[in-house]
Amino acid sequence: MLKYYSIIIGENPEYTKTFQPASKRKIALYANCLMVPVILWFINSYLLVSHVLEGSFLSAIFTAFLAGFIIFLIERAIIMSNGSKPIFWFRILLGFIVASLGSISMDEVIFKHDIDNQVAYYKQAEIDNAVHKVERDYQNQIVVQQSIVKQKGTEWNQSLKDAKSEADGTGGSRQRGVSKISTLKLNIAGKQEADYNTENNKLTSLIASVDTAKAHAKEKAETDFNVNALLIRIRAMFDLIAKDKLMFGVYVLFTLFLFCLEFLVVLIKIGSKNTIDEDLEKAREQLLRAKTKKTLDRSEIFFQPEHFVPSVQNANNAIKQNVSSIFR
């Protein structure tokens, strides 16, 4: 198993097999800790695509392998990195980002049904807004047409009353019976009735057009609203958390647990002490650096002896003095 553990964390198996037991245990610890977030991301990515976003099996598998491979590279880079403070803080930041994204993704899977209810509320609100927009757009036309119909109806009723009063002698010419005047008033009432019916038909057609537009707006809103859109689902999750204290508490517990699992590699890397083999490797590196520096210093003496060797410096000064005395 040491061979596979070494390959996982990027070490040479032929080199690590000579390590002390403590170092071998640490290699196994690193490898196991590295695989935890990788497996977590693999499972979570598959469930997120297949169950939450309702993608196909092939797309879910591909996403799961891709996410697992990326997290594997990131986590192994964290284990293999070793350097200055900027590298240390970058490692912390990278671990924090990976842990945060992993927690959000897993929460989307865990709270799927609760989020579905909130997204359904969003969808209904979007549909209602679309329908209300159509109603607002046609409101002025309907009000104007209703006013015209009411006016035409009033004129028609008034003409009927005038014709009736003319016929029974209670109004107009005061001549009882059907006369030319009453006939004329009846004709006027008939014309106004036709005008009323025309305008009322226009109102009916307008209302039918509004109903049709509302149905189209509703259908379009239902079609355009994607209940599986990731950003909408994330927004729904945080809205639920903000409204419900119980869900907020459960969310915090789940998130902290997942965060610890995601951040495991970084914590182990920071908190674990160096083993004897690590100290030996570090000492070899320091020794090699010292030898390299010494070699470079010697090369400077070889190529520029006038700056370092006293006899060469004295000879060089004597030559300069003789040259200056010749040209005086």
pLDDT tens column, 143-187? 898 898 888 888 878 777 766 765 655 555 555 555 566 566 667
Q: What is the pLDDT of residues 211-233, one digit of tens each?
A: 999 999 999 988 888 888 888 88
Q: Half-sphere exposure of 285 toward its Cβ, with a 13 Å CA cutoff?
A: 7
If phi > 0 it is left, if psi is from -120 to 50 it is alpha, else beta; for residue 174 that is left
Query: Looking at this protein, which amino acid is placed at residue 301?
Result: I
Instruction: Please tell me the pTM assigned to this model.
Output: 0.59
- Nearest residue to 49 via CA among 64, 69, 36: 64
Scanning the chain, the segments in alpha helix (DSSP H) are 2-9, 13-16, 21-47, 57-80, 85-110, 112-168, 180-224, 230-243, 245-262, 264-271, 276-303, 310-326
**Range among 54-68, 99-113, 292-306 with highest mean pLDDT value:** 54-68
Give yes or no for a contact between 106 and 254, defined as CB atoms under 8 angstroms apart.
yes
Could you tell me the CA-to-CA distances from 104 to 238, 249, 271 in Å, in that order? 10, 15, 26
Could you tell me the CA-to-CA distances from 48 to 52, 64, 239 in Å, in that order? 5, 9, 19
Going from N- to C-terminal start, the domains of the chain cover 2-110+243-273, 125-228, 281-326
Alpha-carbon gap, residue 51 to 237, rounded angstroms = 16
CB burial of residue 5 (10 Å; 0-12, 13-18, 19+): buried
Give yes or no for a contact between 171 and 165, defined as CB atoms under 8 angstroms apart.
yes
In the predicted model, is pLDDT for residue 309 greater than 70? no
pLDDT band at 27 (very low <50, low <70, confident <90, very high): confident
